[in-house]
C-alpha cells in the first residue's frame, strides 16, 4: 500500500520547555490519529523537523495548519511525494529528545536549521539525508 509523505523543517522563536512540547505533542497526536496521519518530530534549539505520512489530503491538511501557525516561521518543504509504505505506521507522532541530541552529534542540526546550506541544489540532498536519518532513528527507538 502506498502513502503520501511530506518532510519539512521550520524555526520557532519560542523557547519550548519540555512541558510545552509535551502539550504540543498530545494535541498533535490526537489530531493526527483522527486524520490517520503518522510520523516523527524532531526538535532542537528552536528548529522543528518533521515527517508526516498518510493519505495525501490528510497530510496536506496537517501541513497547511502548521504553515499558518504563528509559532512556526521559515518553513521549508524539503520533500513530498508517494512512498511505498509508511515509515512510522504505529506512531501518531513519534518524538524523543534523546534522539534529537544524538542526531545533533552527527551534524543533523545543521540540516534541520539549514544554516550554511544556502545552495538550493542541496535541498533534495538534505531531504534524502533526513529521510535516511529518520529510518535510523526509527531503528534506534525500536531497540
Task: Tell me which CATH code domain 3-142 carries.
Answer: 3.30.70.100
For the stretch 46-78, pLDDT in tens is 888 888 999 999 999 999 999 999 888 888 888
pTM above 0.85, yes or no: no
Asked if 39 contacts 86 with a C-beta cutoff of 8 angstroms, the reply is no
Instruction: Give residue 127's pLDDT.
Output: 60
Share of the chain above pLDDT 70, in %: 63
Asked if 109 contacts 31 with a C-beta cutoff of 8 angstroms, the reply is no
Q: How far is CA 94 from CA 15, 23, 68, 136, in A?
A: 20, 14, 22, 13
Is 90 exceeded by the pLDDT of residue 41?
no
Domain boundaries defined on the chain:
3-142
Mean pLDDT of 28-35: 90
Q: Which residue has the higher pLDDT, 137 or 10?
A: 10
Nearest Cα residue to 44 out of 93, 91, 127, 107 = 107
Amino acid at each position: 500500500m502506498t502513502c503520501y509523505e511530506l518532510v519539512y523543517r521550520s524555526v520557532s522563536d519560542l523557547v519550548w520547555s519540555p512541558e510545552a512540547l509535551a502539550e504540543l505533542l498530545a494535541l498533535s497526536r490526537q489530531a493526527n490519529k483522527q486524520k490517520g496521519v503518522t510520523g516523527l518530530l524532531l526538535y532542537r534549539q528552536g528548529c522543528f523537523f518533521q515527517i508526516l505520512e498518510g493519505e495525501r489530503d490528510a497530510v496536506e491538511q496537517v501541513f497547511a495548519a502548521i504553515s499558518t501557525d504563528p509559532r512556526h516561521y521559515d518553513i521549508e518543504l524539503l520533500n513530498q511525494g508517494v512512498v511505498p509504505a509508511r515509515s512510522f505506521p504505529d506512531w501518531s507522532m513519534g518524538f524523543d529528545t534523546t534522539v534529537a541530541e544524538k542526531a545533533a552529534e552527527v551534524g543533523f542540526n545543521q540540516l534541520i536549521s539549514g544554516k550554511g546550506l544556502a545552495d538550493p541544489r542541496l535541498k533534495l540532498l538534505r531531504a534524502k539525508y533526513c529521510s535516511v536519518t529518520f529510518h535510523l532513528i526509527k531503528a534506534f527507538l525500536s531497540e
